[in-house]
Amino acid sequence: MTKSSAMKKSSLHFDAAQTDIRERNAMSTRAQILQWCDETLQTAQFKDYAPNGLQVEGADEIRTIVTAVTASRAAINFAAACNAQMLLVHHGMFWKSEPPVITGWKKQRIAALLAHNINLAGYHLPLDAHPVLGNNAQLAQRLGWTQTAAFGEQNLLNIGTLPEDTRTLDALCARIEQTLGRKPVAVGNPKSSLHTVAWCTGGAQGYFQQAADAGADVYITGEISEAQYHLARETGTAFISAGHHATERYGVQALGNALAAKFGLAVRFFDEDNPA
């Protein structure tokens, strides 16, 4: 079964607008929350290079969750200050490409989690791809893009149409800057006419060729490398780097708000002024 066929968008109705839900008193267990996240995000469907789910064990009972893009020391400190029992993130603590030893900054982060009995849970590619709660879906919702298909590796690429008022590169960049609070890097003719948009949040600049091959007029992701400048110039497909952190702020907020609605928990979002 493919990801796209397995996930039923019509059965999910989550309000991602509220990002700071304080007045809750309910309690759930760690196991209940993780099971719901695993089932909702369908983590078993994904081949990932980071563990999805629990990464550091803390309290069994959860009343307050802090959500954040990354399990940084600042996010951990904020969770501790909120007396949270869980820190829920998109970028967790462990990656296949990193050394397995627990030293330095990693030791300090884990020590802080353990000292405050805070669970760390992370959801990477499953949170990118979810058709309602995912980073790709949430970014499109905020920018008014209409998705027509998901494609590419594990269906992480999306393609769709732009609203009429952002159908030039200049206008699209202005809307992105206004929405994300960060000036994007753009390569292409500022006055070029755009209609079809492809996108994948985060560090997905390597998918640019696939987006161009799929017929996109513009491809949007979070980062740019040297090669994308030349590909944009030579293929005629515009390229926009809108920020890794900036494009991935919204999925974890939507997931946190869904948990608040499901379990009646207090959920707060921690953001950082990350220029990357």
pLDDT band for 9, please (50, 70, 90 cuts): very low
Q: Name the pTM for this structure.
A: 0.91
Beta bridge mates, 238? 218
Instruction: Summarize pLDDT for 112-161 with one digit per residue, the tens.
Output: 999 999 999 999 999 999 999 999 999 999 999 999 999 999 999 999 99
pLDDT band for 24, please (50, 70, 90 cuts): low
For residue 18, pLDDT over 80 is answered with no
Residues 6+ apart with CB under 8 A from 247: 135, 139, 180, 201, 202, 220, 221, 222
Binding-site members for a divalent metal cation are: 90-91, 128, 244, 248
Task: Give the span between the Cα atoms of 253 and 256, in whole angstroms.
Answer: 5
For residue 6, pLDDT over 60 is answered with no
pLDDT at residue 99, as a whole number: 92
Binding-site members are: 90-91, 128, 244, 248
| Percentage of the chain exceeding pLDDT 90 | 90
pLDDT at residue 40, as a whole number: 98
DSSP E strands, the chain: 20-21, 28-29, 53-56, 61-62, 64-70, 86-91, 119-122, 146-151, 157-161, 185-187, 196-199, 218-221, 238-241, 266-269
Instruction: Summarize pLDDT for 72-116 with one digit per residue, the tens.
Output: 999 999 999 999 999 999 999 999 989 999 999 999 999 999 999
pLDDT at residue 114, as a whole number: 98
Task: Give the span between the Cα atoms of 109 and 115, in whole angstroms.
Answer: 10
In the predicted model, what is the mean pLDDT of residues 214-222? Answer: 98
Q: What is the mean pLDDT of the chain?
A: 92
Residue 152 in tokens:
């590419």
pLDDT at residue 26, as a whole number: 86
Contact predicate 199/218, CB 8 Å: no
pLDDT at residue 12, as a whole number: 44
- CB atoms < 10 A from the CB of 265, how many? 23
Burial code of 110-123, b = ≥16 C-beta within 10 A, e = fewer?
bebbeebebbbbbb
Which domains does the chain show, CATH number per domain?
28-123+248-269 (3.40.1390.30), 129-247 (3.40.1390.30)
* Rounded CA Rg of the chain: 19
